[in-house]
A and B are shown apart, each in its own frame.
Chain A
Amino acid sequence: MGQVGGWLAILAGGLVVTIELSAATLVLSVVISGCLAVMSISPWRVLRAIASAYVDVFRSIPILALAISVYYGLGRVLHQLGLSPFDTGVLVLTAIESAYLAELYRGALQAIRQQQWDAASSVGLRWVGTLRSVILPQALPPAIPITLNMTVAIIKDSSLLSIIAVSEVTLVANQLIAETFRPTEVYFLVALLYLVLILPLSQVSKYVEKVVERRLGIRPGTEQDKALRRLSIEAEARAG
């Protein structure tokens, strides 16, 4: 038990780096993907093209390939810029995760009915004003569970950055295995740590999703409504 405690203490050091890496990536990804999503629905073709190109490019590149090519391929440049493996990891992860998040945010923005744009326009609001005062306040609530779900993905994807010497929990685990020769036990602890980190986040995400759906009337909230909905789905299925 004492031995496991010692291993957990070592792995916890890596977990802290994982959390820091994920947090930095999340903040940057939310900002970048928010901008990209707005650009992708803007009336200006150039902005739409830039957003589209960014999303297409970074969704097509595997994280591992990008991390290796940036860290080792552009090593001299990164050195001149004073970027550490951690910094490089954040940049790589942000580039890719923000491409995915931008598409999800775009979906949240486009879910707002066209009539809302038309109504805002009829009272004299321009595109930016409509976005700020009408569209974004409605699109933000559904974006919250999306962001929380993406946080889970970011935490898991961060393990790939051990390839560029970011001392997150997977890299620490690999070194521990090389010293203890107990891969099953060490990886079990790593899985446990990821569960401890991700499981509460998943539950919060589900809870927020339900609250948002209820508030926006996307899904019926009461048990009676749910039962009625189930019945109607069954009836449709039979009819179909």
Chain B
Amino acid sequence: MPRSSVSMRAGIALALLSAFVAACSSSSSTTSSISPASTASSIKTITPGVITIATYGSDPPLITVGPGANQLGGLSGDWINAFAAEFGLKVKLFQTTFASTLTAVQQGKADIGAPVYYTSARAQLYYYTYPVDVESLVVFTKSSFHYTGPSSLLGHKVGSVTGYVWTPYFQKFFGSDLLVYPTAKDAQTAFVNGQIDAYLDADLNYFSPPMSLSPTISVHAVSGGDFGVPADLVSSQSYWIVRCNEQGLANALDVARQKLVATWANLLTSDGAPAGYPQQTPSLVKPAEAC
């Protein structure tokens, strides 16, 4: 085949790819914008009358997805359902992985994203609500594993999840020994199976399947600086997120949350929080917004 023909084909392929990417970019910017307010009239969603929520799986009693296709339960679900009922919105779930939750909200495929931690980089793209819960980074190992600190995990297979704020720090610390899974449940399943020696995630995961308070699993606290993770990311709160131009939606969610103050602790109990579950009554204070 003549060389010019080959390069021409390569050029056409690149041009087609560029056109595809450009089309994708433009389609993601066709979402509506609203002025910040906390009234019913300011709630403008991607699909009128429907609140689309990007979720990344269940973590009871904090959040439960299902059993119906668009059912959200747990503490987070209580909040959203109260909000949806107040504004006459139908809940629709956009079920995906953790990393894709962030992208789905960013690209206007979902109105709000399931609770994530605050980082200054995320704050430039997302507007945060009041916090949903309080979590702490811990190390899960099998009880038979002799854990004495971060260095005792070196040379062992360790699991984390794509998109977690801690994952880049773990990658630097563990290198190729870190296995990154698409979802927390996948990583936990691999950990329970023994395919990884340790799993690093929030303490709340210990209370739900597949770990479910198993006596064969040990939970080890993490201090600021361990694995290179800054102290403010070791213990953190999670928040619902919306796009920067949907602040009215976040403010309306906050109003709905304020109305639940009196019943919040009871909701957690009624959602089936097991004994020993961390107290989940974070102060209703917004993080430093940077939209």
Contacts and interface: CB of A to CB of B under 8 A. Distances in A.
Contacts of A76: 193-194
B182 A177 contact: no
A175 B167 contact: yes
A175 B162 contact: yes
Contact of A171 (B1, B24, B100, B162): B162
Given A174-B99, A175-B180, A165 B106 contact: no
Contacts of A203: 1, 6
Given A175-B180, A181-B121, A187-B21, 4 more contacts: A75-B195, A175-B171, A177-B99, A183-B103
A167 interface: yes
Contact of B1 (A181, A191, A199, A206): A206
Interface of B: 1, 6, 10, 13-14, 17-18, 21, 24-25, 28, 97-100, 102-103, 106-107, 121-122, 125, 157, 159, 162-164, 167-168, 171, 176, 179-182, 186-187, 189-190, 192-195
Interface residues of A, number: 31
A179 interface: yes
Contacts of B14: 192, 195
B193 A188 contact: no
Q: Of residues A165, A188, A210, which shows the largest number of chain B Cβ atoms within 10 Å of its Cβ?
A: A165
6 contacts: A76-B194, A165-B159, A175-B163, A175-B171, A181-B106, A195-B17
Nearest to A172: B180
A85 interface: yes
Given A181-B106, A181-B125, A75 B194 contact: yes
Contacts of B164: 178
A195 B13 contact: yes
A86 to B, nearest CB: 10
B182 A75 contact: no
A184 interface: yes
A191 B24 CA distance: 14
Given A165-B159, A181-B102, A188-B17, A72 B189 contact: yes
Given A167-B180, A175-B180, A184 B13 contact: no
Question: Which 4 A-B residue pairs are closest in the complex by CB-CB distance?
Answer: A75-B193, A178-B163, A165-B179, A79-B194
B189 A75 contact: yes
A192 B190 CA distance: 32
Contacts of B167: 175, 178
A73 B1 CA distance: 48
A175 B179 CA distance: 12
B210 to A, nearest CB: 10
B27 to A, nearest CB: 11
Contact of A178 (B17, B157, B162, B181): B162
A34 B151 CA distance: 47
Q: Of residues B24, B180, B189, which shows the largest number of chain A Cβ atoms within 10 Å of its Cβ?
A: B180
A179 B171 CA distance: 13
Interface string A67-106: 0000110011011000011000000000000000000000
